[in-house]
Amino acid sequence: MKTVFIRGNHGDFTNYTAALLACGAQPVLSMHLEDAAACSGLLLPGGADMNPALYGQTNTASYDIDDSRDRDELALVRLFFSSDRPILGICRGHQVLNVAFGGNLLQDVPVPAHHVALGAAGDNVHAVHACHPLLRGLYGDDFCVNSAHHQAVGKLGHGLLATCTSADGINEGFVHENGLILGVQFHPERMGFAHRRTDTVDGARILEAFVRLLRDTSPNRL
C-alpha cells in the first residue's frame, strides 16, 4: 500500500484525501508526527499564511498564522527529504516547501486580481507557461489552472527548479533537483476526478505523477 501523510485530523482535507484515494494511495491523517514514520510520502495541503519570520521578513500582509502548523510541516519536510521520500506541496504547501529549502515568499502578489479567489464564484482561472519538461510533458507549453492565493513563492529555495510561471511572473510550480519533491501553487485536487472542470487542465495528472513516485510500504513489499 502506498500511504501519504497529511498533518490534520480525520475528516479534514476531504478533496485531497479523495484525490489520493482515486490515484490508489491511502491518506494517513494525524496530528502526531510519529505517525509519518512509516508513510510512503507527504502531502502539504493549502491553508493560511506562514509566519514571515521564518523567511526573514517582518509581517506586512500575512494573516491567520498558525505557528504550530508551520513548525510541524517544516519538520515533516526535513523528515521526508532526509529519507528520500516524495513530497507534494499544494498552494500553501508549495510555499512551505520553498521556505523549507531557504527561499522566501511574496506576502502579496503584485497583481492580486489574477490570482485571488473570486468569492462566491469560486477559484480564479489563468494561464501558465511550462518551463520544465515535467509540466510540459503533462500539459504542453501553455495551459490554464485554477487559482486562489494572495501570497506566492519569491526567491526559489536551494535545489528547486521552476516548472511553470504565470504571465505576470509568479512561480506556479517547481521540482527539486532530486526529482522527488513537487510543488504547485494551484489546486489540482479541485481540477480533477469529481471536480474536473472544462476551463482548466486535468489536475489528476499531477497527483498521479506524485503517486507514481511513492514506494509501496506494505510489509510483504519491504
User: Which residues, listed in sequence order, are joined to residue 138 by a DSSP beta bridge?
Assistant: none
pLDDT digits (tens, 9 = 90+) for 140-179: 999 999 999 999 999 999 999 999 999 999 999 999 999 9
pLDDT digits (tens, 9 = 90+) for 191-214: 999 999 999 999 999 999 999 999
Grid cell, residue 193, equals 476526478
Instruction: State the pLDDT at residue 220.
Output: 47
Which of 94, 115, 126, 187 is catalytic? The answer is 187
Give the pLDDT band of residue 135 (cuts 50, 70, 90): very high
- Is residue 222 pLDDT above 50, yes or no? no
**DSSP state, residue 167:** T
Rounded to whole angstroms, the Cα distance separating 143 from 218 reads 37
pLDDT digits (tens, 9 = 90+) for 98-129: 999 999 999 998 877 778 877 766 788 999 99
User: Which residues, listed in sequence order, are joined to residue 164 by a DSSP beta bridge?
Assistant: 130, 173
Which of 91, 94, 115, 126 is catalytic? The answer is 91
Catalytic residue check, 131: no
Catalytic residue check, 208: no
> 2-221 architecture in CATH?
3-Layer(aba) Sandwich (3.40)
Cα angle 203, 208, 211 (rounded to 5 degrees) comes to 135
Catalytic residue check, 189: yes
Instruction: State the pLDDT at residue 28.
Output: 98
List the chain domain ranges: 2-221
Rounded to whole angstroms, the Cα distance separating 148 from 123 reads 6
Q: Are 4 and 41 in contact (CB under 8 A)?
A: yes
User: Could you tell me what percent of the chain has a pLDDT over 70?
Assistant: 97
Rounded to whole angstroms, the Cα distance separating 159 from 101 reads 8
Give the pLDDT band of residue 221 (cuts 50, 70, 90): very low
| Average pLDDT of the segment spanning 75-83 | 98
For the chain, count helices (H), then strands (E).
Answer: 5, 11
Which of 73, 172, 189, 208 is catalytic? The answer is 189
Grid cell, residue 124, equals 480564479
Q: Which residues contact 56 (CB under 8 A, 6 or more apart)?
A: 104
Rounded to whole angstroms, the Cα distance separating 15 from 187 reads 10
- 145's enclosing H/E stretch is strand 142-147
Considering only the C-alpha atoms of the chain, give the largest distance between any 2 of them, rounded to a whole number of Å: 52
Single-letter amino acid, residue 118: L
Q: How many CA atoms lie within 13 A of 161 on its CB side?
A: 14
Could you tell me the pTM of the whole model?
A: 0.95
Neighbours of 122 (CB within 10 A): 12
